[in-house]
Structure formats: C-alpha cells, structure tokens
Structure 1
Amino acid sequence: MHTDNSVRFDQASGLRKMQQQRNHVKVIAVTGGKGGVGKTNVTLNMAVAMGAQGKRVMVLDADLGLANCDVLLGLRVTKNLSHVISGECSLDEVLVRGPNGIYIAPATSGTQSMVELKPTEHAALIRAFSTMQTQIDVLIVDTAAGISDMVLSFAKAAQDIVVVVCDEPTSITDAYALIKLLSNKYGVYKFKVVANMVRSLREGQELFAKLTRVTDRFLDATLELVTCIPYDNNVRMAVRKQRVVVEAFPKSPASMAFRSLASKAGSWPIPTQVGGHLEFFIENILEFAQNKKRENVSE
C-alpha cells in the first residue's frame, strides 16, 4: 500500500529520471474559450505540417469530454490515458501514429479530471511520462472548450498558449474570459492568437483588433497575432475524408496558412532553464490540480 511519503518519493524519482532522459521539448497548448472555433483542426494541421518539416510531434488530446483527434484522423484507438493512469499499459503503448509520423495520445473521455485523481494516480502519470521511450521535439496539447480547471491547468503549464478565435461575438467574449482568468489569477501574460476561418487578411486583423481593444484596456497581457487562417471549403471536405487539409489538399489557401503557422511555431524559443523540460509540464499540471483541490476543500 502506498503512503504519502512513498508517493512523493515515486514522483521525485520519476521527475529526476525524466530530467536525465529527456532534453528540452517545446510544449504548446491550443485553446479557444468556446467550442466550434476550429481548435482541433488548428492543432492537427499544425502538428502534421510540423511533422512534414522534420519535427517529432506528439498531440495530447486533452478534451476529456469530447476527445476527437483520433476521429478526425480516422485512427483506431483501443486504449487511452485512463489505461496509463491505472497502470494497465505504458504511455508508449497508447500512442497512435498519424500522418507524417506524428503521435496521438488519446484522451480519457468521460473519466475524472486531474483535480479528482488520487496521489497514486498522479505518481502513475508522472512515471508514464518519465519512462516514455518515444522521443519527441514538440508536444501540442489540444484542450477542451471553455474555462474549466482542466483547460486552465494545461494552458498554464505550457510554454506557449495559442488562442484560436473566429469572427463571432461569443468567440471574442469567451477568448477574453479565458485570457483574463489566466492573466489575473494565474500570472500568464503572453498569448499567441490565431484568427481562424477569416474571409481576408484584413478581416483577421480586425478580429484581432477587437480582442486587443478589451485586453489592452482591462488586462496586463500581451497578445500576438501569429497567423490568419482563411475560410476554405477544403477544410470541411478534408474533415469528411477524416484527413487534415494540409495532407488532403496541400495547395489550398488554408494549407498554406497552416504550414506558415507550423514554421513560426517551430521557431518559437524553448526555455533553456529547467522549466523547458517535459517533466515540468506534467509537474505543473499536477501542482495546479492539487492547489485546486485544496481550494475546494477550504471553500
């Protein structure tokens, strides 16, 4: 039977082992506030495009309620992160290969959130990442919609946060709410914005301006417009084929924009201090979860 001390020892030894094994990994969280803005499409197309550019990429499907990365790629999934946490298999065993050699780590649909995990399950998750044999350069986290604790924990733990917005009032409102919460409560001040499904570059710039008008006025946060993804019927056609548009229609306008995004993301600097290691991404998620649990107990 595990005691609290043994769990802490397992976590600490797991983190040390991971630090020895793994060098710096770029961790990008893709989020958007509301659903329907194309967040998963942005995630997968960026990942596949980065794979084509020679990067070793893993996508963590972190939408615990509506996991769909595997569905959008037409992949067959038999096990997911819940089997890893329970000790039934290793993280390497649940990874599924996608286009251009990317890896997909399927989510734990319909199961408890990180806030509800037991200390032994926390340790199991850390061990899973510490013993992962698969070598990666980039981890892209596809978060759920909304501003749940899970979304906040993944976003806060990542090195770069990509906020996907489209030209709808609710998209702007929800993106602002997410940025406000992360900056005011959790000390996250830099955000990268992708204007998705825009009719023109000017529309994308105007969309970004709408968002920055409120963030500049009320928040201590810096936003950067990294790219505008044009509205493109080829994206919808690719989804129907269960493929990403960069693979199905490589010369389409959206594909060119996604490849540009991938090139930019590949050049974003990775922290050279200890926080640039993959284990600190996992450690930060679990620390967030433990803090939320303490908050819930005290209320």
Structure 2
Amino acid sequence: MTAAPAAPNSKAPATGARIIAITSGKGGVGKTFVSANLAAALTRHGLKVLVLDADLGLANLDVVLNLHPKVTLHDVFTGRSSLDDAVIEAPGGFSVLLAGSGMVEYSRLTPEVRNEFINVLQTLAPRYDVVLLDTGAGISDVVLFSVSLASEVLIVATPEPTSLTDAYAAIKVLATQQKRQHVRMVVNQAARPGDGRAITSQLQQVLDRFVTTESGRPMRLLHMGDIPADNAVREAVMRRQLLLLNTPGCPAALAVAQLANKIQSTLLA
C-alpha cells in the first residue's frame, strides 16, 4: 500500500475554505447520505458549499442526488473537459463535482491521480466556504490520501459491531499515519437517543488503551451527533431525493440540521 502523506492537510490549499473529509471504516453506513444532506443543511446557513466526490472508482453521489452529469472528474483528469464544466449545482443549492463510477484506473493512487486531485482542490477550494470530501470507505491509499487533504475528519458509523470495528481501524491509521490528534464522529441509524454518545465513549476507552498520538496523548474522539433510524431516510434514498428537501421535519432530517449547527459553531465560527 502506498502511504498517505504523513501530516494532515499537508497538500491542501492555503485558503479560508474549511475542508472536511467525511469517511467511514465500512461501506454501507450512510456516508454519502450524510455528505449530501449535511451540504444542504450548511447551505441553509448561507454558506457556499462544495461536495467533492472523492470515492474515485466507486462513486455514487450522483445516484443519491439523482444527477446525470455530462462531465465528471474523470473527464477533468484526462483533459477532455474543463474543471468549470464539471462543477454543477445540486438540489439543495450546493455545488458538486462528481466522479465517474467503475474507473479501475482510480482504484490505486498513482502520482498522476494524486497530482490531478490536488490541482482540482487547490483551484476550487478558494471559491467556497466549506468543501466536503465524500471519500470511499476503508483504509486504501486512495481513501487515506483524500482524507489527508482535509483539516477535519468526520467518521460515520452505525451501531453494528462490524461498523465500529472498522471505524476503530480507520481511526487508528489516521492517528499513526497522519498524526491526527482528534477525529469527529457521527453515529447513523441510532436506535435510541443517547446511543451514539455511549458508543463514542466506549470507542474512546479502546483508543485510550491502544492508540497513542504523536504528542503522546490518546487520540480524541469528538462526538458530533446521532442520526436516528428513520424510515423516511430509506424512502428518500429510494426516491433519490435529499431527505432535507423530501421530509425536512422527520427525526433524521432534524438531526442532520443539528449536526450542521454544531459544525458551524465549532469549526466555522
């Protein structure tokens, strides 16, 4: 495996834009759902938001948003289209840059992919207040590289043991390889109020025992909120609509709005 850059944000542009990677240890936990709806919620705060589909090769942000782009990140990387043509507006008022799906050449982090991705981010980030990187799941070199470009990391997990085990593995890698001191966490599909905070606390205890950061202190896991299990989420996903537009008053939509409030007050104030 090609190692990701050692320091977080080591190649990110020097700009006022806040770059947040939304990632997960395991696939299927609702990471892209969170990215898209969080972008809509932050846009309601008057922020200029870009969601960059960093799941190179297995992208599905276009499916969640019911978009059919004529130009993708693949076309930009190959020089067939300009970057400006690839950025489009999504339902909810934020901008998106979509990646092509099924691109085998992006399953590995080559120097060409690395350089093209950095160039794209350096060009676009100054135009926005917030850039959300919707990464792939796991700890592949492509995922770790895209996460390394962000100043903050939001791990999405569900209460399932497999999701939490993989989240722990991802957090451990971020502490050891990228020298991160903290990671933020949101628990999706929480069964009861307070479950996410309890899960985060339990995971913190494991980190305290087994993971030490470069400073010698344990990795800090910051609980950002829970998104409750909600049938409205499945309905919105099946309709390929944003939950915040389809059912804005449902419990899960309100939880995403609260997550946006917390991100603005803690990271964007």
TM range (shorter): 0.7 to 0.9
Give the equivalent residue in structure 2 for 1:48.
40
Distance 2:252 2:199 in 1: 18
Distance 1:123 1:177 in 2: 27
1:99 aligns with 2:91: yes
SS of 1:115's equivalent in the other structure is coil
Residues 210/78 of structure 1: CA separation in 2 closer, same or farther (3 Å cut): same
Residues 135/186 of structure 1: CA separation in 2 closer, same or farther (3 Å cut): closer
Residues 91/267 of structure 1: CA separation in 2 closer, same or farther (3 Å cut): farther
Distance 1:267 1:191 in 2: 17
Give the equivalent residue in structure 2 for 1:228.
226
Distance 2:118 2:23 in 1: 23
Residues 128/33 of structure 1: CA separation in 2 closer, same or farther (3 Å cut): closer
1:38·1:196 contact (CA, 8 Å) conserved in 2? yes
1:75·1:96 contact (CA, 8 Å) conserved in 2? no
Residues 90/266 of structure 1: CA separation in 2 closer, same or farther (3 Å cut): farther
Give the equivalent residue in structure 1 for 2:8.
none
Give the equivalent residue in structure 1 for 2:154.
162
Q: Report the alpha carbon displacement of residue 127 of structure 1 after superposing the two structures with TM.
A: 4.6
Distance 2:188 2:32 in 1: 12
1:116 to 110, 117, 132: 110
1:216 aligns with 2:214: no
The TM-score with structure 2 as length reference comes to 0.86
Q: Which has the larger radius of gyration?
A: 1
Q: Report the alpha carbon displacement of residue 156 of structure 1 after superposing the two structures with TM.
A: 2.0
* Structure with the higher helix share, 1 or 2: 1
Q: Report the alpha carbon displacement of residue 131 of structure 1 after superposing the two structures with TM.
A: 4.8
Give the equivalent residue in structure 1 for 2:216.
none
2:17·2:126 contact (CA, 8 Å) conserved in 1? no
Distance 1:126 1:212 in 2: 32
Distance 1:253 1:33 in 2: 25
1:36 to 11, 22, 28: 28
Identity rate of aligned residues, in percent? 37
Give the equivalent residue in structure 2 for 1:198.
190
Give the equivalent residue in structure 2 for 1:58.
50
SS of 2:46's equivalent in the other structure is coil
SS of 1:191's equivalent in the other structure is strand
Distance 2:226 2:220 in 1: 18
- The runs of at least 4 aligned residues of structure 1 exceeding 3 Å deviation read 121-134, 268-271
Structure 1, 233-242 or 96-105: larger mean CA deviation: 96-105
Distance 1:191 1:203 in 2: 18
Distance 1:168 1:270 in 2: 31
1:1-299 correspondence runs (5 A): 23-109=15-101, 110-113=103-106, 115-118=109-112, 124-132=116-124, 135-220=127-212, 221-269=219-267
1:229·1:254 contact (CA, 8 Å) conserved in 2? yes
Residues 126/222 of structure 1: CA separation in 2 closer, same or farther (3 Å cut): closer
Distance 2:174 2:82 in 1: 32
Cα deviations by residue, 1:208-247 (Å, 9 ceiling, x for unpaired): 1231121111112001101011111000011111111111
Cα deviations by residue, 1:71-122 (Å, 9 ceiling, x for unpaired): 111111122112112222221111121123211111143142362143xx65
Structure 1, 73-82 or 247-256: larger mean CA deviation: 73-82
- Segments of 5+ residues of structure 1 without an aligned counterpart are 1-14, 272-299
1:61·1:107 contact (CA, 8 Å) conserved in 2? yes
The TM-score with structure 1 as length reference comes to 0.78
SS of 1:100's equivalent in the other structure is coil
